[in-house]
């Protein structure tokens, strides 16, 4: 299986507003977008359902952007990362058209699903899985987005700017 370009680099943070300002100054990012949810996050971590609120900000232009991640609620992959490592880069992300096939592929290579979830956003159905050998090794996020009419998104450059037009993301000030 061949994966496309990296879509984003995920960074876990304790205070998302402070992190947004910091990364804006460091990288000159002017435009940030927050992911919108139509339905609650249906998350499974270590085989158990989790009740979490996750706030995601995306910044930058081009194909690869920065994702800032802040979580509240039950323990999950992000809270455990913060406890073990503090704030920092958590994962790289690839968009896939078939999440089940992508998971089967990485499992055939010895990786496992560390956390998974699904939710709705502006009429789209999003499913993701964090995969890797363990949470202490490199973690990769695989995301499948199904748009209205059953269309699978896959890789899309300038995703944050386009998704702001559809309502998946709201532009932050």
Give CA torsion, residues 145, 22, 91, 86, to 10 deg: -130
Number of structural domains (the chain) is 1
Both tokens of residue 6?
């990296």
**Domain at 131, CATH number:** 3.10.180.10
The residue behind tokens 């609120």 is 53
Within a domain: 12: yes
Q: Residue 88 sits in which domain range?
A: 8-171
Task: Identify whether 1 is part of a domain.
Answer: no
Q: Distance between CA atoms of 73 and 13, rounded to whole angstroms? A: 15
* Residue 171 CA from chain centroid, whole number: 17
Q: pLDDT of the chain along its 173 residues, tens only? A: 889 889 999 999 999 999 999 999 999 999 999 998 988 899 999 999 999 999 999 999 777 899 999 999 999 999 999 999 999 999 999 999 999 999 999 999 999 999 999 999 888 899 999 999 999 999 999 999 988 788 777 655 445 545 555 666 667 76
DSSP, res 58: E
């Amino acid at each position: 299986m061949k994966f496309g370009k990296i879509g984003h680099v995920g960074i876990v943070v304790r205070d998302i507003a402070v992190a947004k300002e910091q990364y804006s100054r460091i990288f000159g990012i002017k435009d940030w977008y927050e992911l919108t949810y139509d339905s609650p996050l249906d998350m499974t971590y270590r085989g158990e359902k989790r009740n979490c609120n996750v706030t995601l900000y995306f910044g930058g232009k081009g194909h690869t952007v920065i994702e800032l991640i802040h979580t509240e609620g039950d323990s999950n992959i992000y809270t455990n990362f913060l406890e073990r490592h503090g704030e920092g880069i958590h994962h790289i992300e690839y968009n896939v058209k078939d999440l089940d096939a992508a998971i089967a592929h990485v499992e055939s290579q010895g990786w496992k699903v560390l956390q998974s979830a699904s939710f709705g956003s502006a009429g789209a159905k999003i499913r993701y899985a964090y995969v890797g050998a363990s949470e202490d090794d490199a973690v990769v996020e695989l995301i499948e987005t199904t748009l209205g009419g059953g269309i699978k998104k896959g890789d899309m450059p300038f995703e944050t700017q386009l998704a702001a037009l559809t309502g998946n993301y709201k532009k932050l000030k």
